[in-house]
Amino acid sequence: MRQPSLTFRLSLKETQERFAACDICCVDLDQCVFPTFTQIALGTLAVGRAAVTPSLWPRLRQLIAGGSYIAHARLRKFRGERLTNEELMHRFSSVMSGMPVDMLESMARLLPRVSFPGWRDALALISERMPTGMLSFAIQPIIDAYRRTRGWRGRPIFDMASGTPIQVAGSANGPVLLGCYGDDSDLTGQAKLNTLKGWMADRGARVPLVIGHGPDEAPMADYARQEGGLSIGFRAAPDWADHFDVRIDAMTWRPMTRLLRLLQSAA
């Protein structure tokens, strides 16, 4: 098994000083807290649920075809091919349209349990020190499932959480998903940065700690560096690794907990 690696762009002393200055934290979800893409996992769960739900059998072929497309597209994007978040969200929206909302919410609640080991402990350390938010383009029911999680002292980990809103329509059997992507949807790194700045303004925060992995978090990482804060890249994508002050390459968040204890010891 590959050993975890920890890489510092700055000296340990400056890293500790920057961490001490941080007064708000923003963390990404997909490929950061969760090993892959939560919406692909949700689509996979939906196929399994539809297979044993007779009322959803007419949708089963569409779910299987859509899930295969999204998984293949995500892998192409990971290899560096040009696929936009907008394309992928539009496809997910069309495939999942008509699914019962309560079913999506129940499946979403499973995802925090199968995220990277140790993520709760690490983020609980941060949330006891500063307001902590999850900022992702995953659909809001997934984000809400994570927002309900608590740390070891029973305190909620996340003070803020933002995802992609869903549109809901009524039906005879209860609310169903109408869609989760519109012409006004903004799925860019700049949109994430704008949300972070809004959180900072609301809470009177001035110096962010950013935890992410790729291009959608790079603008926030650059902003943190500019404001005297800190950014941590967890399994950072190679083309974007230089945007992060500290990089952790591991299959669990336990090295993140050790890093945070090291930084807190001086803060």
Distance in angstroms (rounded) separating the CA atoms of residues 98 and 63: 11
Question: What does the pLDDT read at residue 77?
Answer: 61
Residue 252 lies in a domain: yes
The pLDDT > 90 percentage for the chain reads: 61
Residue 12, pLDDT score: 94
Specify if 137 maps to a domain: yes
Per the structure, the count of domains in the chain is: 1
Domain-located, residue 124? yes
- Asked if the structure places residue 54 within a domain, the reply is no
Question: What is the pLDDT, as a whole number, of residue 3?
Answer: 65
Of the candidates 36, 27, 67, the one whose C-alpha atom is nearest the C-alpha of residue 216 is 27
The reported pLDDT for the residue numbered 140 is: 94
Residue 18 has what pLDDT? 97
CATH code, domain with 252: 3.40.50.1000
pLDDT digits (tens, 9 = 90+) for 168-222: 887 767 788 887 766 666 778 999 999 999 999 999 999 999 999 999 999 999 9
Any domain includes 13: yes
pTM for the predicted model, two decimal places? 0.90
Whether 30 is covered by a domain: the verdict is: yes
| CA distance linking residue 209 with residue 238, whole number of Å | 21
Q: Is residue 238 part of a domain?
A: yes
List pLDDT tens digits, range 130-168: 999 999 999 999 999 999 999 877 899 999 999 999 988
pLDDT at 172: 67
pLDDT at 64: 80
**How high does pLDDT run on average in the chain?**
89
Tens of pLDDT along 57-106? 888 887 887 766 666 666 666 666 656 677 777 778 878 888 889 999 99
In a domain, 79, yes or no: no
- At residue 248, the pLDDT reads 97
Asked if residue 239 has pLDDT above 80, the reply is yes
What's the domain range around 29?
5-35+115-266
pLDDT of residue 103: 92
Cα–Cα distance measured from residue 105 to residue 96, given in angstroms and rounded to the nearest whole number: 13
Q: What is the pLDDT of residue 167?
A: 86
